[in-house]
Each structure stands twice: as C-alpha cells, then as structure tokens.
Structure 1
Amino acid sequence: MADLPQPVFSRSFGTGARQLLAVHCSLAHSGTWRGLEAALEGDVTLTAFDMLTHGRSPDWDGLGDFQDRNVQAGLTLLEKPVDLIGHSFGATVALRMAVQRPNLVRSLTLIEPVFFAAAMAEDPNALQDLEVENRPFLDALEAGDAALAARLFNRMWSSGAPRWPDLPEPTRAAMTRAIQIVPACDQAILTDPLGLLAPGGLKGLTMPTLLLRGSETKQIITSVNKGLCKRLPNTMSSVIEGAGHMVPISHSTDVADKLRELWKTCPDPSSSS
C-alpha cells in the first residue's frame, strides 16, 4: 500500500550534540553529506538517508508519488527536533517534511531547491531555457539509453564535478540506476499539487529558514529562491560565491559557515552546558 513507507537505508556521521537530518540530491546518496559534517568540526551528528532508487535503499515500488514516498520515508527518521537540510530534489523533500512536522524542525535549510513551480509562479516563462537544455537527456532516456541520459543529466547539474569518464564505475552505475526516476519528480516540482505556493500555504513554517544557492548556478534556481523567500515567514537567502549547483559538496566549508550563522537564531538546548 502506498500509505506505508518503504524502508530506506540511513547512516550517521559525527557524534556532536546538535542533531541534523539531511536529504541528498538526485543521483547522489547519503554519503555525500560526509564533507559537510567534517566541516562542522565535531559540533553535530548528521543523519542522512538514501532516497528510494538511490544508494543502498531499495528501488521505488512505483506506488503513489515518488516525492510523497521519500517524504514518508524521511519522516520515519524525524523523531525529535533537528536541523533539517535538503539539496536540490532533496530540498523539495525536506520542505514537505517540514510542512508535515514543523514542531520537529528547529531550522530548515534548502540548498538549490528545484521547486520550479515557485519560479513559474513569478514568471510563467521561467522554465523555457531549462526545457531546451533538458531535451537531449530526455531523448536519451526515451531511447532506452540510461547511461547516456545519466551522463547528460550529470553534465547539466554538476558544474565543476569530475567528468563522466573520470568517475568510478560504481558511481556511474549508481547514477544510471537512479536516472530512471527523474521524470517521476516532475509533477511535484512543476505543478505544486499540494498548493504550498498558494497564499498561506507555507505559513506554518515559522522556524528559521535558509535558502542557499551558488553564484554560478542556473538562473531558474535564483528565481525559485526568490519565489520561496516571498512565501516563507522566517527566511533568509544567501549566496556562496564561485559555487554551482553542487555547492554542499564542492564548498562544504562555506556551507558550514552559513549554517552556523543560521543556528545562532535557534540554539540547541541540548548542546548548552
């Protein structure tokens, strides 16, 4: 049944007092947060899970909506107040988790969220350039060439990352496995089926919220963050210079600094002496 969450693989890094829960981007896995935990220098325990069809988690069973299923899985790990962080599609999952359990989210950080509906709410033509850029990836996927589709998608979003031939074979295989579900994300990120962008749709998210992007990212991410910033009641927006879409991996120290600034507004009672 779609209302029962699929089990997912999760792991924790660090032993610090402040509890973080993180959701990775598409084609990645929970281990990509290891660098951020290290940059936070022992202050946190960071728990992350592999989304369905990623990492060590099982393939999505095809029931319900893909974003819904990952939200359900993530909520099984949200048992006490945490700082919730998400990157790219994982940021859209984290946003949904916060909407459902705001009392358990001490702070919310959305890094490069691909909630494109927020950009289109400001400008109906916001998606035009991305649709053109997406076409070769979609053509490869429709032709049944998953490896080529993964390579093209990775090229689109992983500015500054190693080229496809330079990636280890297990990494390429994992990306090829996960690429199949990218189109299944479209309804949630393009159409706002739950009405989160409607007046008052995000009013319950009163926790301190950070919208973070790289200065070298795609223009549509800038528009997404502007649209969300208008609707989130307690938010700040920040940019990391020189970074692209993969900013939590490529610029983990800078991201850690931004998180520390955010957390000054919401101290963790359990970490005080």
Structure 2
Amino acid sequence: MAFFIRDDDVRLFHTDEGSGPAVLLLHGWACDSHDWSWQIPDLLTQGYRVIALDHRGHGRSSAPRGDYLPQTLADDAAALIEALGIGHVLVLGHSMGAVVGSALAVRRPDLVRALVLVDPVYTADDLTDPVVEAMSGPGAAGIAAEAFGGAFYTPRTPPFLRAWHRRRVLGTPDHVVGGCIHGLLGSEGLGRWRNAAGYLRDRTCPRLAVYADAKGADRERQLPLGPYDKVEVWEKNGHFLHQENAERFNSRMRSWLNALPGAPS
C-alpha cells in the first residue's frame, strides 16, 4: 500500500499488487477501494497488475475542501497512472467510479485501454435543484445513508452488505458526500443524461457495461458502440451487483477481458 501526493497536496491511498497488464479499480460514491475485495484475487490469479484507488475524500485518502467533479477525480487517477509509470490501463469502475473512468477515457484516451462499467450513474433524468441541494448541505452523510437503504438493494442483497455500506456512508465527511452529489447531479454534472449523452460520445476504447436496470442499458446503447463493446442488463440484481453476484460478474468480466487484444496468456 502507498500514498501518492498530488500537486495540490492531496494524499491518494492506493494498493498496487501483481504483475502483467494493469487494471485500475475505481469505487463509487461514499465507498472505498475495499469494494473490489471480490474482484482483486480473481484478477491477480488471471495475471493482471491490480491498482485499487481510494478517491480523494474517501477511505484513507485525504478529504480536501473544493470540488469533487468526476473530471477532478479522473485527473487524480491520471496522475497516479503516470506516477506509477504505466501505459494503457484497463479501468474497472462502479457507479460514480464508472463516471470517473469514463471521464478519464475522454480526457486521457492515451491512458485507457478498455472500460468495465458496473451500473454507471450517468443516465439519471434531470432532478430539481432542491433535491441536489438537500444532498449537498449539512447532514449529507445521514441523508445519503437513508438513500442507500432504499435505492440500491433487492431482496437478494445480504444484510451484511447493507450494514457495511451504510456505515461507510456515515463515516464519509459531509462535504465529500455533498461535493460528489453536486459534481454528479449539479446543473452541469455528468450524472445527468442530458450532459453525459454528448460527452460520452468521445470515449473511443472498448467497454463492457453491466446494468441492474433496463433503462440505463437502453441509454448506454444510444451511445456509439464498437466491435468489442457489450451492454448487458442483470435483472434482479442491486446496484452493487459485483458484490451480490460476484462469481457471475467475475466470470463475465474475465471472459470479456480475455477476448481483448493483449490479454494475459
């Protein structure tokens, strides 16, 4: 494990394990890189170098004041990739992390070889400003914890996952919880489909996008699709489908990655 110091003195915690083609793991809103504990062993066994990052404000990374736009988090990831001396990376992102990974692919296409996107949150309909503001002010972590309780789960979700997620949200600083929500769902946020639809057309790398709902997948299919691109809907799965259904997810991700040029032999 290590800390990478950004130019603005932000400390970014990350782990770097294994050897081979590099995979960068980007977690979601009010979570941390522990979210990938179900995937890291499998990726290492498959011969990948695995870098798992805590976004600024999350986990063991520092939590500065300032913006938490997906583009800012993408720039953090780009700086880390360059500091580690890696060329192209495979990027695996969940929820907000899928938005960050997509922004990275747009801003720095030279660094991203392919994207695996787990239930991205860039397909939201427009929300009223009061809704965004309510999630962006004092007590944001508590409000977010209640939102986690109802929006992201299905009857198949194990109770321990619900409890773990809730406790992490409550432990995330209000200004980070609110900053990320404002960065995603503010008037110019990439979580709003009207903003994301044009922006994401500039992604040029292959992508596997796995959704828990058909609406998001339908919107994903409205974006340009290349020969390796796959968009799937996993019904009866919650937002954290890579944890709830880890064996299936790992198998699907493995088969897709192995079909890409340059996969480990």
Relative to the length of structure 1, the TM-score reads: 0.74
Instruction: Flag the 1:151–1:268 CA change in 2: closer, same or farther, 3 A.
Output: same
Q: Structure 1, residues 93-120: CA drift from partner, whole Å, max 9, x if none? A: 0001011222332221111111036xxx
Q: Which structure 2 residues correspond to residues 235-246 of structure 1 after superposition, within 5 A?
A: 235-246=229-240
Which deviates more, 45-54 or 159-168? 159-168
Partner residue of 1:120? none
Residue equivalent to 1:26: 29
Are residues 1:189 and 2:190 paired? yes
Question: Aligned-pair distance for 1:4?
Answer: 5.4
Q: How does 1:89-100 map to 2 (within 5 A)?
A: 89-100=96-107
In structure 1, the partner of 2:171 is 174
Cα distance, 1:233–1:62 mapped onto 2, change above 3 Å:
same
Among candidates 260, 263, 270, match of residue 254 of structure 2: 260
> In structure 2, what is the equivalent of residue 250 of structure 1?
244
Q: Secondary structure at the match of 1:10?
A: strand
Amino acid at match of 1:80: G
Offset, 1:204: 4.8
The residue identity in structure 1 corresponding to 2:220 is L
Q: Structure 1 unaligned segments of length 5 or more: list them.
A: 118-125
Q: d(CA) in 1 for partners of 2:150 and 2:246?
A: 21
Distance between the aligned counterparts of 2:167 and 2:143, measured in 1?
16
**Counterpart for residue 159 of structure 2:** 162
Quote the Cα distance in structure 1 between the aligned partners of 2:133 and 2:159. Answer: 22
Contact 2:18 2:44 in 1 (8 A): no
The counterpart of 2:90, out of the listed 71, 74, 83, is: 83
Q: Is contact 1:112–1:211 with CA below 8 Å preserved after alignment?
A: yes
Count residues in correspondence.
245
Shift in CA distance, 55/197, structure 1 to aligned 2, threshold 3 Å:
same
User: Structure 2: any 5+ residue segments left out of the alignment?
Assistant: 1-5
Q: TM-score, normalised by structure 2?
A: 0.76
The amino acid that maps onto 2:109 is P
2:15 is aligned, of 11, 20, 25, to: 11
Compare 166-175 and 88-97 and name the one that shifted more.
Answer: 166-175
Kindly report which structure 2 residues correspond to 1:62-211, keeping only aligned pairs within 5 A, or say none. Answer: 62-63=66-67, 66-78=69-81, 79-116=86-123, 126=125, 139=134, 142=137, 144-159=138-153, 160-162=157-159, 166-167=163-164, 171=168, 173-175=170-172, 177=174, 178-185=176-183, 186-187=185-186, 188-191=189-192, 197-198=197-198, 202=200, 204-211=202-209
CA distance in 2, matches of 1:93, 1:141: 19
Opposite residue 115 of structure 1, the aligned amino acid is Y
Cα root mean square deviation, aligned = 3.4
How has the CA–CA distance of structure 1 residues 41 and 253 changed in structure 2, closer, same or farther, with 3 Å as cutoff? farther
- Name the % identity: 20
Give the Å deviation of 1:50. 1.0
In 1: Cα distance, 2:151 partner to 2:19 partner: 32
In 2, Cα distance between equivalents of 1:20 and 1:165: 27
Q: Does 1:45 pair with 2:43?
A: no
